[in-house]
Structure 1
Amino acid sequence: MSVLISVPELAEALASSAPPRLLDVRWSLAQPDGHADFEGGHIPGAVYVDLDTELADIGDPARGRHPLPTPEAFHAAARGWGLNDGEAVVVYDAGPSYGAARAWWLLRHAGVHDVRILDGGFAEWVAERGDVESGTVEPPHGSITLGWGEMPVIDGDGAAAWPEHGFLLDARAPERFRGDIEPMDPVAGHIPGAVSAPTSDNLAEDGRFYGRGGLGERFADLGIDAADAVAVYCGSGVTAAHQIAALEIAGFRAALYPGSWSEWANTPGRPVGTGEQSVGRLGHPLPHPKGHVARQQAP
């Protein structure tokens, strides 16, 4: 099943006898609650999804800023969105597809195979189609039955060991990877052995994903090929899902570290790398360039 759906493909699907369910996951670090934007205008038929309360189980900093919801909570949320067994689902957000990718990953993790991300999101829909509706949407309660555990997941210990046998990609901005700044978490830097692979590099200037060929080249430039084990983390497990979607478009299967840097940085004793990271097969580490150090957090 394709990861993406284009605006023309979605318009055609919505006009069919079996239209997909639409989930609007507008979210950003600067404005996590996108409900007002949704009410101001959304794709007709869409239902709003709150990332912080429905796609995460926020509370304990030791688990990171956006730990995964419990299977039971996610099951209840999906029924609240009106989802039923056998229906196709399309997820979107304002445009970069970061929030949408989190919903895509969780639905896949819960066993929904026919779920796609609207490439370019709401901005692309408005640019190409223009038809929107406003106001609150309260769908009839759905009856979907979900599973759990269908996407690969690792924990902090798995992330620590991953560079010994594969590629651990850090999807944050390069300056956060290097430890130059850290606007969100108590410690700056990255997991030692990780490779910087900013999520923003998955997107063209128009906010849509590069195609399979372009993304394949992007990850090949990092030294990744089909035989490599790949895992991804970011700040809190949200944009890492975007990276996993990009990897899947390119033909790679990747594991998610849901706690990501926000969990790692809140775990006493975890080592922290700073500076640049050499790119190469992590099973055969390259020397770190000058300025890269690993240090222990204070207990």
Structure 2
Amino acid sequence: MTVLISPAELASALASSAPPRLLDVRWALAQPNGEAEHTEGHLPGAVYVDLDTELADIGDPRAGRHPLPTPEAFQAAARRWGLHDGDAVVVYDGGPSFGAARAWWLLRHAGVDVRILDGGYAAWVLAGLPVETGTVVPAPGTVTLGWGLMPVVEADDAGAWPARGVLLDARAGERFRGEVEPMDPVAGHIPGAVNAPTTGNAGGTGAFLSASELEARFAGLGVSPGAEVAVYCGSGVTAAHQIAALEIAGIQATLYPGSWSAWAHQGRPVATGE
């Protein structure tokens, strides 16, 4: 399934007889609620999605900062967004698609035909395409979602993964090495993991690197097509961006949803340094 859609391709799809549904998932670690930005300007008809409350089930810290929502909660959210069975969906954020990738992964997990707007809202505006302001409140949808269609791994298997394949840590290098830890109680990384900061998946405009560039990037990290790959990050959000980048490069990968935030709260082994 194609991961990305360009602004021009999306504009054409929106003008067709079966336009995709648009979800605005503007989110950042420092500013998790992007509703104000959505109100100031968004793609026509796009519905705002709150990552913390609709794309996660925040509660027990041992499960991580952004554990997956329950299937029931996610289906209820999708119906609030106005989704119906058979709808195609395009997700976006302000760029570089960290929040959008979380929605992409979850919707794929639930069996929905979904793509990421490459470069996000910034790319749409740069292309001179129309935007609107205010809040979009759609009529409730009736979609019935599936679940479990994307591979996941839990903590025990994530810890054992380096013995069978490649475990990628998508956080910044200084967090991986244990030099700083602004969010979680322990600094460092899962023993045997390889550092692959998510920021390396995108160029200066926030759009993903090309398939050949991403293939070369991951090959340099010891990942090649056919390798068994699992990914984690701080809380399972930016790891979804890594999985999207890997898929663009032709590599399937498994998500450890709890990621470092769950690992660090469970008293598990910690490695530091390179």
TM over 0.5: yes
Matched, 1:171 2:151: no
**Contact preservation (8 Å) 2:170, 2:242:** yes
**Contact preservation (8 Å) 2:22, 2:47:** yes
Q: Which residue of 1 aligns with 2:150?
A: 151
Runs ≥4 in structure 1, deviation > 2 angstroms? none
Distance 2:238 2:34 in 1: 17
Provide TM-score, normalisation by structure 1.
0.91
Deviation at 1:223, TM superposition (A): 1.6
Q: Which amino acid aligns with 1:196?
A: N
Q: Which residue of 2 aligns with 1:272?
A: 270
**Contact preservation (8 Å) 2:151, 2:255:** yes
Distance 2:208 2:227 in 1: 22
Q: Deviations over 1:49-69 (max 9, x none)?
A: 000000000011110000000
Distance 2:225 2:33 in 1: 38
Counterpart secondary structure, 2:22 = strand
Distance 2:142 2:128 in 1: 31
Q: Which amino acid aligns with 1:65?
A: R
**Matches of residues 216-255 of structure 1 in structure 2 within 5 Å?**
216-255=215-254
Q: Which amino acid aligns with 1:108?
A: R
Task: Find the structure with the greater CA-based Rg.
Answer: 1
Deviation at 1:227, TM superposition (A): 2.4
Q: Which amino acid aligns with 1:71?
A: P
**Contact preservation (8 Å) 2:231, 2:242:** yes
Deviation at 1:222, TM superposition (A): 1.0
Q: Which residue of 2 aligns with 1:47?
A: 47
User: Bigger CA drift: 21-30 or 125-134?
Assistant: 125-134
Q: Which residue of 2 aligns with 1:24?
A: 24
Q: Which residue of 2 aligns with 1:297?
A: none
Q: Which amino acid aligns with 1:63?
A: A
Q: Deviations over 1:209-255 (max 9, x none)?
A: 01111100111111212221000000000000000000000001100
**Contact preservation (8 Å) 2:233, 2:259:** yes
Provide TM-score, normalisation by structure 2.
0.99
Q: Which amino acid aligns with 2:196?
A: A
Distance 2:200 2:129 in 1: 28
**Matches of residues 84-233 of structure 1 in structure 2 within 5 Å?**
84-112=84-112, 114-233=113-232
Q: What is the CA RMSD across the aligned residues, in angstroms?
A: 0.6
Please list every run of 5 or more consecutive structure 2 residues that lacks an aligned counterpart in the other structure. none
Counterpart secondary structure, 2:270 = strand
Distance 1:25 1:63 in 2: 22
Distance 1:178 1:272 in 2: 10
Q: Which residue of 1 aligns with 2:9?
A: 9
Q: Deviations over 1:242-274 (max 9, x none)?
A: 000000000011000000000000002x11000
What is the identity percentage for the equivalent residue pairs of Structure 1 and Structure 2?
Answer: 73
Distance 2:138 2:31 in 1: 24
Counterpart secondary structure, 1:265 = helix
Distance 2:225 2:192 in 1: 20
Q: How many residues align?
A: 274
Deviation at 1:130, TM superposition (A): 4.1
User: Bigger CA drift: 27-36 or 128-137?
Assistant: 128-137
